Every structure is written in structure tokens, then in C-alpha cells.
Amino acid sequence: MKTDSDNSPKKSEIIISSEFEETIHSFLAYIELEKGLSKNTADGYQSDLIQFAQFLTQKKITDWKSVNGDFVSQWVQDLSRNDYAVTSLARKLSAVKMLAKFLIKDHRSEDDFTELISGPKMARKIPEYLTPEEVELLLDAPDRDTAQGVRDRAILELFYSSGLRVSELTALHLQEVDLENCFLRVISGKGCKDRVAPFGSKAKEALENYLSVGRPRLVKIKTGSAFFISNRGLAISRKTVWVMLKKMAEKVGIKKPVKPHLLRHSFATHLLSGGADLRAIQEMLGHSDISTTQIYTTVEKKRLVDQHAEFHPRG
């Protein structure tokens, strides 16, 4: 099954019109500068839109005013026949829909040629998560007799207690952590929006221990204000965090693929099963849409069904 990066050599050779090229360039600048989307997102949209423009070029279309919904439908059908994943199709169509709205906003087109086009239906995957017992095992895995172990324990505690994304955790600075009031000021790369992320007393204890015992032993002359730092004294990288999590999981015998997002899923799932309000969880996770958070209600329902099947006499 193909992913977003799969383009045939033949299509990559198709030269698109200067109008297509200039418009795509303007659109990418718009979503980065005005919409605040990340460069990674913009790069993905660029690939998708060039692919769409190449398809139109094959159909002898070289300007946006000649594009209609039929061409979009044909393009999606063409991609489907080439075995693209549903998630890839949805992302590509989303890019074209955003472009169509941009064309109207920028007075390059009068009609939204994607208005009647619906995206492919996707079965939402239920997030995997750790049980509370597995979380305890993971949190106790680091060696707290070393500066690195003290740091790793603080990272794990904060992940589970706050539901941060790995990019948010590695981007934390000292001034963004309020230990007295137990919250973080998080600047998310997704739209560059600020939010407040609370954390609990266990995480506070681990963070205080890291700041007093672990971090001073890792600091170098070139160390800046990054909260979590590597053995070289620089801001810790996402790769280092991923490797550490995998190592700790293997150490305590957890068979699940433990990644940073698994702790984020565990954070949300355990909050919901404990009775937390869905809107509060949405705010803590930094989800812009409540529908994204609602996937955790499916996790909780599945857990109840599994419990019934396992323990009820007629389960």
C-alpha cells in the first residue's frame, strides 16, 4: 500500500504550468506565515498539490479556472486504483480543499471546486495504552543513582502526568515550568497555540529532584535554558527520548511498542476512566476539536466490554 511519499517516476517528470507553480508557492507561504502550520505539514501539502497539478496537466488543464469537481473526483479515484492508503487519500484531498478555499480568498477563483467532494471514510484506530500497572513498572525503570536516570525518571513522570507530545517536552524551557503551582506553559507546534498543562505531585517531586540533582551534573558551558538536556548539555532530542523509552520498556518486560504518544494516550485514557470531563481532557491535550478527544471514549467502552466478557458468567 502506498504512502504519501510514493510517486511514480513518470509523474515526477511532468512539468506543471507557471500558474500552478506560482499559486502553490503562494499557498504554502500563506499556511506557514498566516495559518501557523508547521514546515513538515507545508512540505506534505506541497507534494500533494504538485501531484494534483501534474494530474491536471495530463488532462490538458493548465489554469485553476478550468478545474471542477469532476477532475478532483477523477484524481482521487486514480489514486485509489494505485493502492494509496485511505489516510494518504484523506490528507491529499484535504490539501486540495484548503487550496480551493485559498484561491477564492486570494481572488484567483470564484467557485470552490471541492465543495461537493467528500473524503474517503476512515475507520478510526483505537489508541493503544498502558495499564496503570505497566505505567508503574515503566516509571520505576530508570536508574536514579545516575544523572541520566534522574532525568529519565522526570521525563517519564512528566509525560504520564501531563500528556505532552514529545516535541512539546523536548522544547520546554526552564521559565515555562511552574513547580510551585504544578503547571507548564506549552507552546505547541500545531498552530503555535499556547496552553496550560497541569501535572501532579509525583511529577513535581521527580522534576525537583532532576533540577537539584540531575540537571546540574549534565550542564555544560554551552547549555542554554532548555529544561531537559542531554549528556552533552544540549536540549534533549526526540530521538534520544524515543530510544530511552524503548530501552526502559524492554528493561521491565513491557511487550507493547512504547513510544512517547503511548504515554499521552495512557494519560488521556486513565483520566477518562477515572471520571474526568472530556472537555477538560481536550484542553489538557491541546486538541482544537473535541472529536479528536472523543476517540478515548471508544477506548473506555472497549475496556468495559472486555471486562464484561472476561468476568461475567455469561460473557
CATH number at residue 93: 1.10.150
Judge if 170 and 307 occupy the same domain: yes
With respect to residue 140, please indicate whether it lies within any of the assigned structural domains: yes
Does 149 lie in the same domain as 92? no
Given the residues 101, 251, 287, 303, the one annotated as active site: 287
pLDDT of residue 192: 52
Q: Is residue 61 part of a domain?
A: yes
Query: Is the CB of residue 282 less than 8 Å from the CB of residue 291?
Result: no
| 165 flagged as catalytic | yes
- What lies within 8 Å, CB to CB, of 24 at 6+ separation is 46, 49, 50, 53, 99
Q: Which residues pair with 196 in a beta bridge?
A: 185
Is residue 230, in this structure, part of any structural domain at all? yes
Q: Are residues 247 and 205 in the same domain?
A: yes
- In-domain check, residue 110: no
pLDDT of residue 5: 45
Candidate list 91, 92, 153, 165, residue with the active-site label: 165
Residue 29 placed within a domain: yes
DSSP the chain: -B-TT---HHHHTPPPPHHHHHHHHHHHHHHHHTS---HHHHHHHHHHHHHHHHHHHHTT--SGGG--HHHHHHHHHHHHHTTB-HHHHHHHHHHHHHHHHHHHHTTS-SS-TTTTPPPPP-PPPPPP---HHHHHHHHT-S-TTSHHHHHHHHHHHHHHHH---HHHHHT-BGGGEETTTTEEEEE-TTTS-EEEEE--HHHHHHHHHIIIIIHHHH--TT--SBSSB-TTSSBPPHHHHHHHHHHHHHHHT--S---HHHHHHHHHHHHHHTT--HHHHHHHHT-SSHHHHTHHHHHHHHHHHHHHHHHSTT-
Q: Which of 91, 151, 204, 264 is catalytic?
A: 264
Q: Are residues 97 and 174 in the same domain?
A: no
CB atoms within 10 A of CB 20: 22
> What span, in angstroms and rounded, lies between the C-alpha atoms of 113 and 313?
57
- 145 and 98: one domain? no
- Say what the pTM is: 0.61
Query: What pLDDT is stored for residue 190 in this prediction?
Result: 53
Cβ partners under 8 Å of residue 122, min gap 6: 86, 87, 90
What would the pLDDT profile of 222-262 be if each residue is shown by its tens digit? Answer: 999 999 999 999 999 999 999 999 999 999 999 988 989 99
pLDDT of residue 8: 41
Q: Are residues 147 and 243 in the same domain?
A: yes
Residue 125 in domain: no
Q: What would you report as the CA-atom Rg of the chain, rounded to the nearest whole angstrom?
A: 24
Strand order in the sheet with 177-178: 177-178, 183-187, 194-198
81 is catalytic: no
Annotated catalytic residue 190: yes
Identify the domain containing residue 282 by its residue range.
Answer: 132-311
110: cell is: 470564484
Active site residue 287: yes
For the stretch 134-158, pLDDT in tens is 999 999 999 999 999 999 999 999 9
Same domain? 137 vs 264:
yes
Q: In this structure, what CATH number is given to the domain that contains residue 287?
A: 1.10.443.10
User: What pLDDT does 14 receive?
Assistant: 85
Say whether both 297 and 176 belong to one domain.
yes
pLDDT at 125: 64
pLDDT of 315: 58
Where the chain has pLDDT below 70, the residues are 1-12, 119-126, 188-193, 298-315
Q: Is residue 4, in this structure, part of any structural domain at all? A: no
Task: Identify whether 265 is part of a domain.
Answer: yes
Q: Is there a single domain that holds both residue 48 and residue 137?
A: no
| Active-site residue flag, 84 | no
Annotated catalytic residue within 185, 238, 261, 303: 261
From 97, 108, 190, 246, the catalytic residue: 190
Total number of domains constituting the chain: 2
My answer on whether 145 and 266 are in the same domain is: yes
Does residue 58 sit in the same domain as residue 145?
A: no
Per-residue pLDDT at 52: 93
Specify whether 151 is located in the same domain as 291.
Answer: yes
